A and B are shown apart, each in its own frame.
Chain A
Amino acid sequence: MSKAETTHKGRKIVWTDIGMQLLLLTIGLLISLPIIIAVLTSFKSLQDISANPTSFFPREWTLRNYQTAWNATPFGRYLINSAIQSGTIVICQVIFSIMAAFAFTFLEFPGKKILFGLMLGSLMIPFQLTFIPNFVLISEWGLANTYAGLTLPFLASAFGIFMLRQFFMSLPKELHDAARIDGASNFRFLWQVVVPLSGGAISAFGIFAFLGAWSQYLWPLVITNDSSMRTIQIGIRYFLFDQERGTDWGALMAGAVIVLLPTLVLFLIAQRQLVKGIAMSGLKG
């Protein structure tokens, strides 16, 4: 009797698994279809792109778009600038967010509630509101066309603080009490307990912060006018707003593929950390 039951149960589990796997495949295909179309577009010739109806595969494969994208602007220089700008922003945002989220979750200090409320409120401040005053401020300091000017306003992130705070809040309170009883300093509790337990959340925020910095457009556009200081997104949009020739979609797609690659590499690296987060979380129970 018990044997029949197990086979029955075993089969049921297998069937749901197959269903889930198929679902995963279907959604994966649906999501990747437009991406595949975009990548294929980057290999199409100009006539091929404007043909109606468009073909799925390029009629003739060409690297012309990549050449155009790379040569039309100092793409290499832009890439380096973007790497420095985004790297600085990510490192600072991650460290500062961990610190502040820790304080808002585990420490008591006068004015904490009001400061936390202000932090949340700052999420709702539209970029357009602070944009022009910040531009004036940074220019007054003589920081236009510098890496400092590109990064300074973004070194601390209310998004990161709020996000990590949400994760820290779900850590069991006993952990902090136990650490206190053991006489561990707040610093040790932060680095040896809270950070390792939140590896997944922290690396996820690292990815978001990078993506946010990497895709910035308006600020780099106004705060730099020297071609040697501009960032990669400005390079991309060059193709979109080229008044003379119209939009060169092929080059735009090629540029987008080039811009996508560093993010993809970073994601693949950070993904290991996301998985590590699973192993770690076993401790939490």
Chain B
Amino acid sequence: MADMLGALQERKKSGRLRFKTMTGMQKREARWGYIFISPWLIGFTLFYIIPMIASLVFSTLDFTLSAPDEIEFVGLQNWVDMFTTDERAWDSLKITVIFGVISLPIGLISALFLAILLNSENLVGIPFFRTIFYMPTMIPVIASVFIWKQFLNIKTGWLNRMIDWVVGILPGDIAWSAAGSTGLDWLNSPTPLLYVGYTLVGLWGVGNAMLLTLAALQGVPTDLYEASRVDGAGWWRRLWNITLPMISPVIFYNLIIGAVGLFQYFLIPFSLSALTGAPEGRSRFYLIHLFQEAFAFQHMGYGATLAWLLFIVGLLTTLLLFWTSKFWVFYPGEGR
């Protein structure tokens, strides 16, 4: 794993550090290092490591929370079941990945686009718009889901009405209506449109990524732009050659967090269609399936097994992304 984290800063070229062979100054530095990470390390051990081990033990048991005395040891049966008989688990994993392929790029690009817009010079009312753009992220998810249900309603929703209005003023015979019973059913059609609808709902959470990208944009040294302006570089070239490389650490962060959010995608589908997976199981994301098995069907042991699989898949994805970061993430602090 250490190899894969190649992005990590390498200050000492002398190879691995060993406490015994370190100089006094190095020892002092190392001591500070341990002190500084100790609050996190304690929390991590207590509330992550121990629960994970407990969870691994749970995955070999069959039990319910309501009758904790009737615990039965089943060995690897949960794991075998998951790999052989539980098709829903793999379907839901597939759905989650498909949704991610649609929603992650849209989310990342939207965040970047909004941040660039908010970072442009000479515009009026930037602080006001910054607040407006971030507002949706502040609204409790459960309330925003209700808002979106209204907004995306097939007949009465404002979005379909607006599309109709736009199509209506187009020249020519466009016999196509977005609203009405044959219109765009954003949240209930068993087609990829469903995932676009869900992506729209999720776009409201893009505020964090936007704000972070904005902070990164403001950290790009202005003299880099001035130099390139002197060289006659256009807007696109400046974006591609200066801005994007300089903020790539933050784009990378947003990508990782996006992947984390994807594998833990629960509250929005849960609020939209509860545990039903409607329409036709297309909204049965992985955690919906897990939640149903663990809490609705009370298969706690099997739920722990599913959670472990999710963790393994997520971890492998993170490692893969970290490996790719070698090729496109640029850290100004290193390699000079």
Contacts and interface: CB of A to CB of B under 8 A. Distances in A.
Interface in B267-291: 287, 290-291
Given A31-B132, A31-B136, A167 B52 contact: no
Contacts of A11: none
A126 B250 contact: no
A27 B117 contact: yes
A37 B158 contact: yes
Interface string B138-149: 111111101110
A207 interface: yes
Contacts of A253: 143, 146
B141 A109 contact: no
Given A23-B117, A108-B17, A121 B318 contact: yes
A17, A132, A268, A275, most chain B CB atoms within 10 A:
A132
Contact of A172 (B50, B65, B142, B332): B332
Given A109-B33, A125-B52, A211-B138, A21 B158 contact: no
A155 B318 contact: no
A281 B222 CA distance: 9
A26 to B, nearest CB: 11
B142 to A, nearest CB: 6
B182 interface: no
A278 B137 CA distance: 23
Nearest to B158: A33
A180 B26 CA distance: 13
A174 B39 CA distance: 28
A17 B44 CA distance: 48
A119 B133 contact: no
A282 B314 CA distance: 38
B260 interface: yes
A13 B120 CA distance: 12
A123 interface: yes
A119 B218 contact: no
A228 interface: no
Contacts of B307: 126, 128-129
Contacts of A268: 131
A59 to B, nearest CB: 16
A277 B151 contact: no
A263 B214 contact: no
Nearest to B225: A285
A31 B203 CA distance: 10
Given A37-B147, A113-B5, A169-B249, A108 B33 contact: yes
A1 interface: no
For chain B, the bracket of interface size reads: 35 or more
Contacts of A28: 129, 132-133
B256 A116 contact: no
State the majority secondary structure of interface residues on B: helix
Contacts of A170: 216, 219, 246, 249, 331-333
A181 interface: no
Contact of B37 (A103, A159, A215, A249): A103
Given A17-B122, A99-B39, A285-B224, A233 B140 contact: yes
19 contacts: A37-B150, A37-B158, A54-B156, A99-B36, A100-B40, A110-B30, A113-B5, A116-B8, A120-B318, A122-B48, A126-B264, A126-B314, A128-B291, A161-B40, A166-B250, A259-B140, A260-B140, A263-B138, A274-B214
Q: 9 tightest CB-CB pairs across the interface, nearest first?
A: A285-B221, A133-B51, A109-B33, A256-B143, A124-B314, A109-B30, A103-B36, A156-B43, A130-B51
Given A158-B40, A268-B131, 7 more contacts: A31-B136, A37-B150, A123-B256, A255-B143, A274-B214, A275-B127, A281-B220
Interface of A: 13, 17, 20-21, 23-24, 27-28, 31-35, 37-38, 52-54, 92, 96-97, 99-100, 102-105, 107-110, 112-134, 136-137, 152-153, 155-159, 161-163, 166-174, 186-187, 200-201, 204, 207-208, 211, 215, 233, 236-237, 240, 249, 252-253, 255-256, 259-260, 263-264, 267-268, 271, 274-275, 277-278, 281-282, 284-285
Interface of B: 1-2, 4-5, 8-9, 11-12, 16-19, 26, 29-34, 36-37, 39-44, 46-48, 50-52, 54-55, 58, 65, 114, 117, 120, 122-125, 127, 129-144, 146-148, 150-151, 156, 158, 208, 211-212, 214-216, 218-224, 246, 249-250, 252-253, 256-257, 260, 263-264, 287, 290-291, 294, 300, 303-304, 307-308, 310-311, 314-315, 317-318, 322, 331-334, 336
